[in-house]
Amino acid sequence: MDSRLVLARRELASLRREKTIVLALAIQLFVAAFSSVLVVGLVSLYAPGAAGGAVAVDVGVTGDAADDLGPVVDRGDAMYATYYDAERAARAGFERGDVDAVLVADRLDSGRTYVDATVPDGSFATTVVVSRLKAALSRYERQRRAALSTRLDRQPLDLPPERGGSTYHGFTYTVLIPALAFLPAFISGSIAADSIAEERERETWDLLRSAPLSIPEIVDGKALAFVAIAPAQVACWFAFLALNGTPIHAPLAALGFVTALTGLLVVGGVAAALAVPKHREAQLVYSFGALGAFGAASLLPESPQNVVAKLAIGSPTTITWLTVVGAIVLGVVSYAATRVAAARAATT
């Protein structure tokens, strides 16, 4: 068998044999899955459309503009207006828990309506109540604008219709998926640096060099294992998300992009470990280098996060594809360059 594959298999086996590593991965998986489920769950709870049918919000309405505001409140998703004659009665109702919020609406001489809103504090419902009130009051604002339209020079645009879409739909694609895609790539680069730094610190590097392998072949063998495991992890994440109702639109392209980035990071890790003799300094160089490179890449027309988000959500542009191709080309070129440099460093 190709000796490079033997080395790659040795690296993977050493990862597997140390069962603690498997355990560490499992914990990571659990925590990441758990927090993503929690965050996505929360987000959908806060989204007006998603929680719409679930929690009913009763609103006490009073004040001289109450007859005007009440019907607007009633039109909201699962919102019900209760009319009170006096503010005192409305507040008493709030205290008793008859209503979840109180709106005191007074019409001023200028035609403006002043609303004093009271919502419960420190309860889980606060956010739901406030976001519903916001929707209702915005609706009321539009209605009042229309009523006073003769006093306006320009007219506001009509709003597009509501179809129950969540404004937080994009969160999964733009925050969660990029994070899940890049974390394994960073770790791969880091353990690639570890692997070589360790061989050098424990002075087994010379032993390895005496094996019938050239330096580029050693780099191949080491890098192969670490480049391979990151896309495998990301593929698992994608499958997991797809099962949970978050389809990934261009999984292969996204995986290709992740592989290219992993290649770049692994090359960076290998280069850091070859250039710097000590493990800790090599790790520092790698960490800051990766951080800086990532920051610099964020200044591109489409940042890496944006590229992954667009591929996953299904809105790739020409620039997206160019970035993917560019990353792959850059990955291949820098990989080749590292092999050459490693060989040269070894001969001198």
Partner 1 sequence: MSPRRVLRIARWEAGRNAGTIDRRTAILLACTLLVVALVAPALVLSAPTPGQGVYRVAVDDANPYRAPVALNDRLSAVPPGANAVERGRADVAVVGTSGFVVADSAKGRAALAALRSATEAYNDRLMATENDVAAAFPVTVDVSYVERGTRVAGGSGGSAAIDADDGAGARTDDGGTTVGGGTTADSGATTGDGTGTTTAVGGGASAGTAGPSVSGDASAPANTPGGLTPPFPLESLLLAFVFVLPLNVVIQSYGSSVLDERVDRRGEPLLVSPATRADIVAGKTLPYLAAAALVTVPIAYAVGAGVASVLAVLPLAALFLGVTFLGALFARSYKELTFVTVTVTVVLMAYAFVPAVFTEVHPIAAISPLSVVVRDIRGDPFQLGGFLLATVPVATAAVVCYGLGLGVYREEDLFTQKRLPAKALDALAAPLTSVRRVGLLTVALVPFVLIAELFAVASLFVAPPDLAVPIVLVLVAVIEEVAKSVHVYAGFTNARFERATRAALALGVASGVGFFLGEKLLLLTRLVGLSDLTVGGAAFGNAELGAGSLALLAAPLVLHAVTASVSALGARRSARGYAIALAGAVLLHLGYNYTVVTTVG
Contacts to partner 1 from residues 56-115, by CB under 8 A: 87-88, 91-92, 94-95, 97, 104, 106, 108, 110-115
The residue (of 38 and 337) whose beta carbon lies closer to partner 1 is: 38
32 lies in the binding site for partner 1 (CB under 8 A): yes
The residue (of 5 and 296) whose beta carbon lies closer to partner 1 is: 296
Contact between 93 and 99 under an 8 Å Cβ cutoff? The reply is yes
Instruction: Pull the structure tokens for residue 180.
Output: 């899940």
Instruction: Pull the structure tokens for residue 34.
Output: 């758990």
Number of amino acids touching partner 1 (CB under 8 A): 123
The residue (of 106 and 328) whose beta carbon lies closer to partner 1 is: 106
Write the binding mask 279 to 298 for partner 1: x where contact by CB under 8 A, - elsewhere: xxx-xxx-xxx-xxx-xx-x
169 lies in the binding site for partner 1 (CB under 8 A): yes
The residue (of 165 and 333) whose beta carbon lies closer to partner 1 is: 165
187 lies in the binding site for partner 1 (CB under 8 A): yes
Minimum Å gap between C-beta 267 and partner 1 is 15
244 lies in the binding site for partner 1 (CB under 8 A): no
327 lies in the binding site for partner 1 (CB under 8 A): no
The residue among 214, 219, 187, 207 whose CA lies nearest residue 11 is 219
Longest dimension (CA), the chain: 93
Among 210, 212, 299, 318, binds partner 1 (CB under 8 A): 299
344 lies in the binding site for partner 1 (CB under 8 A): no
The residue (of 2 and 284) whose beta carbon lies closer to partner 1 is: 284
Three-state DSSP state, 256: helix
Minimum Å gap between C-beta 78 and partner 1 is 16
The residue (of 176 and 260) whose beta carbon lies closer to partner 1 is: 176
Contact between 294 and 304 under an 8 Å Cβ cutoff? The reply is yes
Site for partner 1 in 258-277 (CB under 8 A): 272, 275-277
**For residues 197-233, b (16+ Cβ closer than 10 Å) or e, as one string?**
bebbbeeebeebeeeebbbbbbbbbbbbbbbbbbbeb
Q: Which helix (H) or strand (E) holds 34?
A: helix 19-46
52 lies in the binding site for partner 1 (CB under 8 A): no
Q: Which stretch binds partner 1 (CB under 8 A): 161-169, 233-241, 251-259, 339-347?
A: 161-169
Q: How far apart are CA 91 and CA 118, in angstroms?
A: 9
The residue (of 2 and 23) whose beta carbon lies closer to partner 1 is: 23
Three-state DSSP state, 83: strand
The residue (of 58 and 302) whose beta carbon lies closer to partner 1 is: 302
State the DSSP code for 172: I
Q: Which stretch binds partner 1 (CB under 8 A): 73-81, 216-224, 227-235, 278-286?
A: 278-286
Among 201, 216, 322, 328, binds partner 1 (CB under 8 A): 201
Write the binding mask 112 to 141 for partner 1: x where contact by CB under 8 A, - elsewhere: xxxxxxxxxxxxx-xx--xx-xx--xx-xx
The residue among 122, 121, 113, 128 whose CA lies nearest residue 61 is 113
338 lies in the binding site for partner 1 (CB under 8 A): no
How many other β-carbons are positioned within 10 Å of the β-carbon of residue 101? Answer: 24
The residue among 75, 68, 282 whose CA lies nearest residue 196 is 282
Strand 101-107 relative to strand 79-83, pairing: unpaired
Contact between 199 and 270 under an 8 Å Cβ cutoff? The reply is no
Instruction: Pull the structure tokens for residue 29.
Output: 């998986």
